[in-house]
């Protein structure tokens, strides 16, 4: 067992490490502390030769409610990437911060050298999708739902923009355009989920699957994962991720400008006009 505050880490028999997000009071909303403790736990599992498969789950009634809308919190981590400039003003600082904690962190987790399984139940909302989508396999309870309503916030979707790859183009557009939830049954039929099981069977089923995989040679598992990930990248996955992330920051800038215009209007200040 671990000493983390927001993550429970344990190594089980059969070569399986279990990483459980442990902020049930906020439905596992992702702040800086959860992000970096999750990264530390996953890194520990990656470097532990006794671990062959990693299971990611969430404590409480839901897998994840997404980003913590109260902000990143007071937790001051040591960055693991090279996206410096978090404290710079305007779009520069925000983009640098989100490259570190969202885009590049998700890429890091997606490329872990061992098979990963997301064990998902209840609601997975917006940023929570990223925590699930970086895993190699997803097992969900039959009551699970998946939602991305961030178009309402003025952006194109969450920072790890895997929607077209996970749902197919048509359903991805509908999900984003409407903000409506996708059910576990729909997600399974679209190929996003590997298995859907009754909620009271979810943990046991996922652990059994993890142990079945862990019985295979570790190097073969690593090579199989690399082959699949590289095939996806050859199709343009990583390039598309970066492009969507850049577009999201156009959306952020637009939202801030609209907020400024409304604030100035309420204050009786006229916004300068563009053009001639």
Residue 52 domain flag: yes
pLDDT tens digits along 59-70: 999 999 999 988
Helix (H, G, I), strand (E, B) or coil at 124: strand
Q: Report the CATH number at residue 159.
A: 3.90.226.10
Whole-angstrom distance, CA of residue 135 vs CA of residue 56: 8
Query: 56: which strand partners?
Result: 19, 118
Q: Quick one: tokens of 55?
A: 């299971």
Any domain includes 273? no
Total tally of structural domains belonging to the chain: 1
Any domain includes 258: yes
Q: For 148-189, write each residue's pLDDT tens digit.
A: 999 999 999 999 999 999 999 999 999 999 999 999 999 999
Confidence of residue 1 (pLDDT cuts 50, 70, 90): low
Domain contains 1: no
Domain assignment of residue 49, given as a range: 7-266
Nearest to 133 by CA among 149, 155, 116, 151: 116
Residue 276 — pLDDT band, cuts 50, 70, 90? Answer: very low
Any domain includes 243: yes
Backbone angles phi, psi at 89, to 5 degrees: -75, 160
Q: What is the pLDDT of residues 116-134, one digit of tens each?
A: 999 999 999 999 999 999 9
Is residue 252 in some structural domain? yes
d(CA 117, CA 119): 6
SS3 content of the chain, % helix, strand, coil (to 5): 50, 15, 35
* 33 occurs within a structural domain: yes
Closest C-alpha to 135, from 26, 247, 21: 21
Q: Is residue 203 part of a domain?
A: yes
């Amino acid at each position: 067992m671990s000493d983390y505050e927001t993550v429970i880490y344990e190594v089980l028999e059969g070569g399986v490490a279990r990483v459980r997000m442990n902020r049930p009071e906020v439905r596992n909303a992702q702040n800086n502390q959860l992000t970096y403790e999750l990264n530390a736990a996953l890194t520990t599992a990656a470097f532990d030769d006794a671990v062959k498969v990693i299971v990611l789950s969430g404590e409480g009634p839901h897998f994840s409610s997404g980003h913590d809308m109260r902000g990143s919190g007071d937790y001051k981590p040591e960055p693991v990437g090279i996206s410096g400039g978090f404290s710079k003003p305007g779009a520069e600082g925000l983009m640098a911060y989100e490259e570190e904690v969202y885009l590049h962190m998700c890429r890091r987790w997606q490329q872990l050298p061992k098979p990963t399984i997301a064990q998902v139940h209840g609601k997975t909302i917006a940023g929570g999708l990223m925590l699930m989508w970086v895993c190699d396999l997803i097992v969900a309870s039959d009551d699970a739902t998946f939602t991305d309503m961030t178009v309402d916030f003025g952006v194109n979707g969450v920072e790890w923009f895997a929607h077209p790859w996970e749902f197919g183009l048509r359903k991805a557009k509908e999900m984003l355009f409407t903000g409506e939830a996708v059910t576990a049954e729909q997600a399974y039929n679209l190929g996003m989920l590997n298995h859907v099981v009754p909620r009271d069977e979810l943990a046991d089923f996922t652990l059994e699957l993890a142990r079945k995989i862990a019985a295979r040679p570790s190097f073969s598992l690593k090579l199989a994962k690399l082959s699949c990930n590289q095939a996806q990248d050859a199709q343009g996955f990583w390039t598309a991720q970066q492009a969507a992330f850049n577009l999201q920051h156009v959306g952020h800038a637009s939202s801030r400008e609209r907020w400024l215009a409304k604030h100035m209007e309420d204050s009786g200040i006229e916004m300068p006009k563009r053009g001639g």
